[in-house]
Amino acid sequence: MHYASIKPCDIANGPGVRVSLFVSGCTHHCPGCFNKETWDFSYGQPFTEETMADLYEKLSPGYITGLTLLGGEPLEPVNQQALLPFVEEVRRRFPDKTIWCYTGYTYETDLLAADGRAHCTATDRLLGMTDVLVDGRFVQDLRDITLLFRGSSNQRLIDLARTRETGSVVLWENRN
């Protein structure tokens, strides 16, 4: 896997101050995408052990609320396979920090379903460690800059822990 960039102090992609990893590779090609260069799976730098060590260091300060995965498309199956060991280690080292993931895939049909377009051997474990999933493709006609942590009104902020507890999709609520 390759990554396009790392933002060590991001306040736009989830609550608080976050470390954001923009992965490379996306097959959605949404019109109006703000990150077209990340569609190429080879764009940017290789995601290496050194990259992971740098991210662990960036996640260490107490003022960092958590990690956000976006792209590109972090839930392209090939990216899921590369991200899984990293996210497992983040969860082990930083159990009190939240993990957010942005995806153009839809939770119920593309990710949760065993025959979903993006479901692979890593999906269930990766989603099991994710606190909030922002799902749905960016739709230019539904773009709304007033929305919290999303670009178009069709996208949902899914509280995955509560969704797992209840068995149906529960939307994340900003409790600040």
| CATH architecture under which domain 2-166 falls | Alpha-Beta Barrel (3.20)
Q: For the chain, what are the domain ranges?
A: 2-166
Mean pLDDT on 117-138: 97
User: What does the pLDDT look like over 153-166, one tens digit per residue?
Assistant: 999 999 999 999 99
Count of Cβ atoms closer than 10 Å to residue 17 Cβ: 14
Which residues lie below 8 Å from residue 146, measured CB to CB, with a gap of 6+? Answer: none
Residue range 68-127, pLDDT digits in tens: 999 999 999 999 999 999 999 999 999 999 999 999 999 999 999 999 999 999 999 999
Closest CA to 62 of 102, 100, 97, 106: 97
134 vs 14: CA distance, rounded Å: 10
